[in-house]
Structure 1
Amino acid sequence: MLPASDSINDLDLNAYVDDQLDDWQRLRVEEYLSHQPEAAARVMQDMHLRRELRLAFAPAPEPNGQQRAAAALLSRGLLRDERLRKVIRLVPVAALVLAGWLANEGLGPLSVGEVVASQPPHPVVAAAISAREASIIRLPMRSQPQIHELDADELRAATGILLPQFDRNWAIRDAQIFPSPQGPGIEIVFETGDLGQISHFAVRPGNFAVTLPHVEKHDASNVAWFQIGETAHVLISDKGDTSDLQKVAENLSSSLY
């Protein structure tokens, strides 16, 4: 015969849910619950919640050998695919760099040496020369304000042009947005010391390319130009020789990689 269940209270029900009663006490509570459907429903809900919490915080089972092998195979496959995607993305750039190097070194039918003045300049170079001529007229004018500080982020936001890392010892004489056939460009005039005054013109010509620095002579000016990605850069100087400007152009182009 079961003990009387008329004295069951909430403490007994909570102990039942927490499995803290012996067999006789559990029978006594179950006898009580058989006559109290509302209390039984509440107890069942509490027990269901307790099992959910136990499962939620239970440690994950250790994977077996087959599962470990499958995970390792999947990891190697994902790593191989990621490396392959990186190589595929670099192939066009590498091909363009190689073609530019061959052209710069004078190898093969694509070789480009120092250009004589009688040949028409590259369209980007022609735009840079026009921008430089406008700057030469503008600089002595008192009515035209000059800019001595460069906000590369603001210029990039306005034009989409990424500027290289210029030598910190260069002093900015002026910087202006200059219209060109290729779109808005950035014309910056520097005082460089040994190389004198250098103009840097950057514009987006509308194509993607990687072109190593080319050096040209235009009248009395030395011109070096290159393109990295979607932006072409032109340097113009009237002092020094082409080899000096070549080194400057190579340093600026390498800062964009």
Structure 2
Amino acid sequence: MYAKCGTILSAEYVFNDIDSVDVISWNSLIAGYAANGYVEETIKLFRDMVVKGVIPDQVTFVGLLSACSHGGLINKGLDLFRSMTEEYNIEPLAEHYACIVDLLSRVGRLEEAFEMVREMKIEVNAGIWGALLSACRIHNKKFEIAQVAAEELSKVEPRKTSNYVLLANIHAGAGRWDEVERVRMAMNERGVEKQPGCSWIEDQNHLHVFRSDDDNGVLQQRQADMGNTLKTLTAQMKTCSASSLHSHTYYD
């Protein structure tokens, strides 16, 4: 709980107060370090765990590989991935492969990541294909890999519009407008519609939702209501500011 809230010191305090620390507690703190960007601390904690004689499991390496991915520790991540299978005899899950694919993709080693995906012994999930597709967008290259990843994602998530939009943006970034049009035609043929934009604001414990496809009359009324509310708030702020300035006026 503390780690997920970002209060790592409190998480460490509770961890150190445990009499008999099991692998679950170690994994919780490792995952907490990784999620909050404490890469070096994550690796050190893993070493301490091994020294204490606690045997890591699949969850342990998900946290470790995730930390390496976000920290850009390519060689360390690959070493840990190998030690997981060779030293600890742990069969990689889709989550482990996703971390390695994300790790390689972040630094532009897309061919290596794609080759790993093709050689996987387990079923490739949407997270892995999504990491590849996102990497192609970031590095703006490898259109063949992007096309394959998008096609596989369309099989796993046929109604998810963001995958099509991402592929279209990749082609658009390179000026491949014919390919952009093909992606749009594919969306129309499969009946995929782009989700409307949505914003929301909470006022007096009531949530107000605004969608880009709202009825024009309703939307205009909501916009007018928001405009009036903003004017009222602005006037109140000016009044409070003037009162505060008057009460703190100093004279020579």
TM-score range, shorter chain: under 0.3
Of Structure 1 and Structure 2, the greater helix share is in 2
TM-score, normalized by length of structure 1? 0.20
